[in-house]
Amino acid sequence: MSTENPANPTPAVQHQDFIRQIVRDDLASGKHVAIHTRFPPEPNGYLHIGHAKAICLSFGIAREFSGWCNLRLDDTNPGKEDPEFVEGIKDDVRWLGFEWHELRHASDYFEVFYRAACKLIEDGVAYVDDLNAEEMREYRGTLTAAGRNSPHRDRSVEENLDLFRRMRAGEFADGSKTLRAKIDMAAGNMNMRDPAIYRIRKIAHQNTGDAWPIYPMYDYAHSLSDALEGITHSLCTLEFEDHRPLYDWCVDKVDLPNHPELWQPLLDAGLPTQPAKPRQIEFSRLNLSYCITSKRKLAQLVADHYVDGWDDPRMNTLRGLRRRGFTPAGLRLLIDRVGVSKQNSVIDYAVLEGCIREDLDATAARRMAVLEPLKLVLTNLPEGHEETLSFPNHPKDESFGTRDVPFSREVWIEREDFAEVPPKGFHRLKPEGEVRLRGVGIVKCEQVIKDADGNVVELHCTLDPETRSGLPGADRKVKGTIHWVSAKRAVAAEVRVYDRLFSVAAPDSEDDGKTWLDHVNPEAKRVLRGWLEPAAADVAPEQRFQFERLGYFVADRVDHRADAPVFNRTVTLRDTWARQAGN
């Protein structure tokens, strides 16, 4: 597969960061002729906003330097992984605007991993241990105290090979034995204290079925997968920095480039293989305020019905953000602005929302919608009056063209655009007050109609017909302009008004004595019955608009139909959370 994607060409601006400088230096020195990266998610859940940075970095660097990037599914933990998540990961990567060179699975390499483990045993640097998990933790020591050698550490090569082959044959129970690297139980880095590299797990695998009763551990499988695929730069988040010595140990001790007999099974299976020595480089992950990125906690939100699924628009999964109406270009803009460094920090969620607004301001056509309607009747127009007005689809871009908008004697306006007793600074409609109806002209409120309970249900107004654009009175000034939709021609719609899922910036913090679930925002979803101009309703799912004066909205990718429109609010026109904080 080609790494080129016409929807997201190579950026004209050259990015500057420490990883790209390493890549430039490596190319300039001749260390590498071509750059090869990878994105290796585990298919045990859907991708979230944090993964977007890793995707943009690994795929983006490959594209910028005319290299290639593999999508590799790290499927070494059967029982927690699912083909549904595999398809979701592939969809999300493509949605962000990237394509992979090859699709690989760690399970493609199970036979190679096994042969490599046998080599480590033969070389005297791996052994089969009988300690259980609790005993291994006890023997491991602490950050301030060295570990102790397992009583099984000095088994002979022959005994270790025999035991490991019998593990492979399925003779032993789950957890009864592990294969460990023989490194140094006194190492300052805990990851180097004889880490496990294989465990017994008699559970079917989604790709290999019951062929394997043993499975490799992540550090071992990941490093050798990178080497097998000829990865030049293995980009990881900072929590893997302490794992790098083990990564290098596995790569060096197995030495795949000089042992083709280990990877011959891949060639026999038709998998192109040219092993090399990869370099692991760590960068800071994307941390956003008001967000949770733990897969376990995201799964709990779904399981306990705090949200309506992995793609609920309140979720910060990529599927949820997509359904909310966030754009791939807006997410890529965020990643560019955050940059790449080794310094962990928390980015204000408002920065993400600002990037989405910036993209949608340029790319979203305008429409009119009324979410909390109040009827306005223009009493000086004849009964049954209707006409069609022409509106620009985008006030800043003539290439968007124009559309026809039906106008009638009775229209819906937003209830909040009228105040019987207006507060200070209110410039919308009030008794005896005037306001400009967008594209129509100036109207004056003559009468307020109420129901038996005293609620305002209708406004009777008069229109000054000479104040429409292009007519002699169009220059007459009033302070407010409000939008509307024709009461006769508007289309009823379900509008889901979404906001941040958590009400505090650091939901994981327990400083206030509350759990993260206590901070779920009850106002994160409101469902309204609104009215749309016809041109907003008859559109395909995932069509995005700015509903004038209300925010940016998207036709729901699952539930929207032209005859039963459903729209989700993507983001407000301005940062309302900053204003709340200021209060």
Domain ranges of the chain: 287-367+492-583, 369-483
Q: How far is 479 from 45, CA to CA, in rounded Å? A: 52
Taking only Cα atoms into account, the Rg of the chain, rounded to an integer number of angstroms, comes to: 31
Terminal Cα-to-Cα distance of the chain (whole angstroms): 53
Residue 368 has pLDDT above 90, yes or no: yes
Residues whose CB is less than 8 angstroms from the CB of residue 552 and which lie 6 or more positions away in sequence, other chains included: 325, 356, 357, 360, 364, 544, 545, 546, 569, 570, 571, 573
Structure-block tokens of residue 382: 């004849």
Query: pLDDT tens-digit profile of 258-285?
Result: 999 999 999 999 999 999 999 999 999 9
Known catalytic residue: 84? Answer: no
Strand bridging mode 525-532 / 369-370:
antiparallel
Q: In what order do the strands lie in the sheet with 566-571?
A: 365-367, 544-547, 551-555, 566-571, 491-498, 525-532, 369-370
Structure-block tokens of residue 348: 């204000």
Q: What is the pLDDT of residue 1?
A: 33
> Which among 24, 42, 458, 494 is annotated as catalytic?
42
Query: pLDDT tens-digit profile of 457-500?
Result: 999 999 999 999 888 888 999 999 999 999 999 999 999 999 99
> Which among 285, 403, 438, 549 is annotated as catalytic?
285
Are both 287-367+492-583 and 369-483 of the same fold?
Answer: yes
Known catalytic residue: 285? Answer: yes
Query: pLDDT tens-digit profile of 304-333?
Result: 999 999 999 999 999 999 999 999 999 999
Which DSSP symbol is given to 252? H
Tokens 């539930």 locate to 559
The CATH homologous superfamily of the domain defined by 369-483: Ribosomal Protein L25; Chain P (2.40.240.10)
Nearest 10 degrees: Cα torsion 280, 283, 284, 288: -100
Query: pLDDT tens-digit profile of 94-143?
Result: 999 999 999 999 999 999 999 999 999 999 999 999 999 999 999 999 99
The annotated binding site for L-glutamine is made up of 74, 218
The annotated binding site is made up of 42-44, 48-54, 74, 218, 237, 285-286
Structure-block tokens of residue 496: 């889901």
pTM of the model: 0.92
Q: How far is 124 from 120, CA to CA, in rounded Å? A: 6
Tokens 């949770």 locate to 292
The annotated binding site for ATP is made up of 42-44, 48-54, 237, 285-286
For residue 537, count CB atoms less than 10 angstroms from its CB and return exposed for 0-12, middle for 13-18, buried for 19 or more: buried
C-alpha closest to that of 204 among 379, 82, 336: 82
Strand bridging mode 551-555 / 566-571:
antiparallel
Residue 6 has pLDDT above 60, yes or no: no
Q: How far is 363 from 357, CA to CA, in rounded Å? A: 10
Q: How far is 41 from 481, CA to CA, in rounded Å? A: 50
Which top CATH class is 287-367+492-583?
Answer: mainly beta
Residue 12 has pLDDT above 50, yes or no: no
Cβ(534)–Cβ(319) below 8 Å: no
487-506 as b/e, with b when 16 or more CB fall inside 10 Å?
A: bebbbebbbbbbbbbbbbbb
Nearest 10 degrees: Cα torsion 38, 276, 74, 326: 0
Strands (E), 207-353: 214-216, 233-237, 279-283, 287-288, 346-347
Q: How far is 79 from 42, CA to CA, in rounded Å? A: 12
Known catalytic residue: 42? Answer: yes
